[in-house]
Amino acid sequence: MTESEGPETVAVVGAGAVGTTAAYDLARDGADVTLFEAGDIAGGSTGRASGICYDAFAEDVDAAVAQRAMERFRAFDGQGDFELTPWPYVWLAREGDERRAEAIREQVPRMQTNGRNVELVDPADLAAEFDDLRTDDVAVAAVAHDAAHVVPETYPPLLAEKAEAEGATVRTDTPVDLSTDPTGVVPDGEDAVQEFDAVLVAAGAHSKQLLADAGAPIAMKPYRVQALTASDDLAVPICYDATGGFYLRPHPEGLLAGDGTEEVEADPDEWDRDADDWFLDDMAEGLDRRIGQSPEVERSWAGLCTATPDRDPLLGEVRDGLYVATGFQGHGFMRSPALGEAVAAEILGDEGIEPFDPTRFEGDEAFEIVEGMDVE
Ligand SMILES: Cc1cc2nc3c(=O)[nH]c(=O)nc-3n(C[C@H](O)[C@H](O)[C@H](O)COP(=O)(O)OP(=O)(O)OC[C@H]3O[C@@H](n4cnc5c(N)ncnc54)[C@H](O)[C@@H]3O)c2cc1C
């Protein structure tokens, strides 16, 4: 460490989008970093994500985080296998859904105040621009111009490689245990505790259990969401139908669509990786409405997201030397370059992002899981 008074040795647990970003930033800024990953790089939720990225957030802190994330994604574009495909993001409410229509009308000026390149748009103009998008039933639509889609599993390998280039050690197939000592990591199959000055738990859905084992409970619940791809190559924007509660985007295989939130806590070690029939039926109906057809499904799957009581992330120090980055409500990939950066900076001595301070909760709060990608 040369530039700051921060910790010299840091363990990062989890090589998803957030952990690899933090590992890179920490190593680049002088920390001696070891990144522990239970399985493969991007083998967690990041590898199952839909790759939708946008900066259309109304709250000022969210807008600033998303702006920074998109800025970094643009800088990483073209490095390794990571490619960012700029594409507009449209979100809409249907006729008769006055509550969500009003929410969109209210959000857009707030986003604009925060410097986001978004605007309300005439649904008929959208249909004219995107041949396969149906908007006859749409009451209100907005478009975010600084959005993109990516293949999400290409991002963590790039950041892990960059971390290694800055001197970090990356240990895959190495689940760790924090139960012996919260800043002492015990890699699976080893007896000795490896001591670190700081430990960052960026273990996605497993973060809750790891931190409970370390005696630092957090207010987070993993929950299951679902997605599918279909082979038809369609002219559509990235689109979130808020009334129907689903999204779609163009995809290298044709079309990707998803949501299918199961609003119950999932067991991160035992959950159904396949999509449910009800999700496939709902998507057939939703896609028929939005693109005038129900394309044949090529692949479908489920994955885990992480909820918090106020739907804001848990990002920062939970106890001396022990940090967390989780609770992203389905928006963790698109914000990962900024959230990983922010928690790395906090570990090295900067202020954290105050509204995301994980100690705002005791950790034992009762709360309901509410789906993340909503406009309410
Ligand atoms: C179907 C689906 C679609 C989604 N679509 C989007 C989207 O379009 N845009 C968006 O922004 N977000 C989306 N998300 C959410 C997004 O996937 C997550 O918010 C994001 O990937 C979280 O990244 P992470 O690094 O926190 O966690 P993860 O990617 O889950 O990484 C955590 C890692 O920790 C490892 N780990 C766990 N326990 C241990 C241990 N004990 N020791 C060592 N390693 C451990 C895991 O193996 C895993 O690799 C989607 C999620 C799903 C499931």
- Among 332, 239, 101, 86, residue whose Cα is nearest residue 247: 239
Q: Which of 177, 117, 171 is nearest to 148 (CA)?
A: 117
Tell me the CATH number at 139: 3.30.9.10
DSSP assigned state of 267: B
Q: Are residues 97 and 198 in the same domain?
A: no
> What is d(CA 9, CA 327) in angstroms, rounded to the nearest whole number?
25
Comparing C-alpha atoms, which of 158, 28, 192 is closest to residue 82?
158
In a domain, 231, yes or no: yes
Q: Is residue 187 located within the same domain as residue 117? A: no
Q: Are residues 320 and 298 in the same domain?
A: no
What tokens appear for 240 in the block?
């979130």
- What's the residue count for the chain? 376
Q: Are residues 110 and 125 in the same domain?
A: yes
Closest CA to 342 of 334, 351, 329: 351
Residues 133 and 239 in one domain: yes
Verify that 158 and 300 share a domain, yes or no: no
Residue with tokens 């449209």: 90
Q: Quick check: helix, strand or coil at residue 294?
A: coil
| Cβ neighbours, 10 Å, residue 112 | 15
Q: Is the dihedral of CA 178, 179, 183, 187 positive or negative?
A: negative
**pLDDT at residue 100, as a whole number:** 95
229 and 141 both lie in a single domain:
yes
What pLDDT is attached to residue 185?
Answer: 82
**In-domain check, residue 55:** no
Closest by alpha carbon to 97, among 230, 229, 242? 242
Q: Determine, yes or no, domain membership for 102.
A: yes
Pocket test for ligand 1, best of 84, 305, 356 (most atoms within 8 A of CB): 305
Q: Looking at 307, 331, 347, which one is the last position of a domain?
A: 307
pLDDT, residue 292, reads 94
Q: For the whole model, what pTM was predicted?
A: 0.97
Mapping DSSP to helix (H, G, I), strand (E, B) and coil, where does residue 289 land? Answer: helix
> Which DSSP state fits 359?
G
User: Has residue 59 been placed in a domain?
Assistant: no
Do 225 and 302 lie in one domain? The reply is yes
How much is the pLDDT for 372?
A: 60
CA of 49 relative to ligand 1 center, distance in Å: 8
Pocket of ligand 1 (CB under 6 A): 13-19, 36-39, 43-46, 48-52, 175-176, 202-204, 206, 210, 225, 227, 258, 303-305, 326, 328, 330-334
Encode the chain (376 residues) as per-residue pLDDT tens digits.
444 567 899 999 999 999 999 999 999 999 999 999 999 999 999 999 999 999 999 999 999 999 999 999 999 999 999 999 999 999 999 999 999 999 999 999 999 999 999 999 999 999 999 999 999 999 999 999 999 999 999 999 999 999 999 999 999 999 999 988 767 888 878 878 899 999 999 999 999 999 999 999 999 999 999 999 998 889 999 999 999 999 999 998 899 999 888 899 999 999 999 999 999 999 999 999 999 998 899 999 999 999 999 999 999 999 999 999 999 999 999 999 999 999 999 999 999 999 999 999 999 888 999 876 454 4
Domain that residue 164 falls in: 9-50+153-219+309-360
Q: Are residues 206 and 300 in the same domain?
A: no
Q: What is the CATH number of the domain that holds 325?
A: 3.50.50.60
301 and 159 share one domain = no
31, 126: one domain: no
Residue 242 domain flag: yes
- pLDDT tens for 294-339 read 889 999 999 999 999 999 999 999 999 999 999 999 999 999 999 9
Number of independent structural domains in the chain: 2
Domain boundary among 307, 339, 368: 307
Residues 182, 265 within the same domain:
no
pLDDT at 183: 78
Is 20 inside any structural domain? yes
> 58 in helix, strand or coil?
coil
